[in-house]
Amino acid sequence: MERNINIPKEIVRSIAGATRVIALTGAGVSAESGVPTFRGEDGLWRNYRAEDLATPEAFRRDPKLVWEWYDWRRTLLAPLAPNAGHFALAEMESRFDDFTLITQNVDGLHRMAGSANLVEMHGNIWYTRCLREGDVRENRDVPLAPLPPLCTRCGGMVRPHIVWFGESLDPDILDRALFSTRQAQVFIVAGTSAMVQPAASLAGMAKQNGAIVIEVNVEPTPISGMVDASLQGSSGSVLPELLRIIDV
């Protein structure tokens, strides 16, 4: 749907002239593809307790229950496709010399849309990790069988290749996110409630390093007050429009 975003001219000029651009995305960017968000009215955390399903303790306590939840989410995700927001971000990669997409999303939709310079901060739901050998493997089986699934190499237990609460992010991935954030001239933050650390701090870090920060969200967030432009609307309509503005 067409809509005009209100973005100051000097900001448009800065974006168009920028070479190093970062976008950070969250669950809201996949919402228009049919992926549930975590917080908010229909969010996953309304019906499920994160402590029971998305912590290492929960997995130690009941791996089958945790895997059942992931199996359900994988089944929900399997038929879904990227939306206009994902495609606009994938297009941006060819518009700037250095464009990095940092995502908190685990659904794999950015890669499906064509984003290649991608940092998946919280892992990917389509990969498993062997608890014995750390082997990370793609697994697209829907539904999973057996449940819980086993490592195809050593037969040991595997877990979802996802960062749960209380777990540290992969240090190389975090370094990549921090490095690109510090270099950014423009930092676009889209579809995240900016509640979960360390991702929530990246926009502030970019701003401190002199970047122009642009937020895209359907509602205000804790970082809305510090950004240079807060574009209220769905990422599926605002991001393509942002791309059009850059191209003019």
What are the catalytic residues? 122
Question: Which residues are paired to 216 by β-bridges?
Answer: 190, 231
Output Rg (C-alpha) for the chain, integer angstroms. 18
User: CB of 229: closest distance to ligand BJW in angstroms?
Assistant: 15
Question: Which residues are paired to 186 by β-bridges?
Answer: 21, 212
Question: Concatenated DSSP letters for 21-88?
Answer: EEEEE-THHHHTTT---SSSTT-HHHHS-HHHHSSHHHHHH-HHHHHHHHHHHHHHHTT----HHHHH
User: CB of 209: closest distance to ligand BJW in angstroms?
Assistant: 20
- What letter would DSSP give residue 225? G
| Residue matched to tokens 């968000």 | 37
User: CB of 106: closest distance to ligand BJW in angstroms?
Assistant: 5
User: Cβ closer to ligand BJW: 88 or 163?
Assistant: 163
Q: CB of 95 within 8 A of CB of 40?
A: no
Query: Which residue type, as a one-letter code, is found at position 153?
Result: R
User: CB of 199: closest distance to ligand BJW in angstroms?
Assistant: 6
Distance from first CA to last CA of the chain, Å, rounded?
19
User: Cβ closer to ligand BJW: 4 or 9?
Assistant: 4
Q: CB of 73 within 8 A of CB of 160?
A: no
Residues shown for the chain: 248
Instruction: Write out the two tokens for 150.
Output: 């086993």
Q: Are strands 20-25 and 123-130 parallel, antiparallel or unpaired?
A: unpaired
The residues that touch ligand BJW, with contacts defined as CB under 6 A, are: 26-28, 31-32, 37-40, 43, 54, 104, 106, 122, 162-168, 191-193, 195-198, 216-219, 221, 234-236
Phi, psi of 59 (to 5 degrees): -70, -40
User: CB of 163: closest distance to ligand BJW in angstroms?
Assistant: 4
User: Cβ closer to ligand BJW: 13 or 61?
Assistant: 61
Residue nearest to ligand BJW (CB): 28
User: CB of 220: closest distance to ligand BJW in angstroms?
Assistant: 9
**Which are the contacts of 173, defined by CB distance < 8 A and separation ≥ 6?**
119, 120, 121
Query: Which residue type, as a one-letter code, is found at position 182?
Result: R
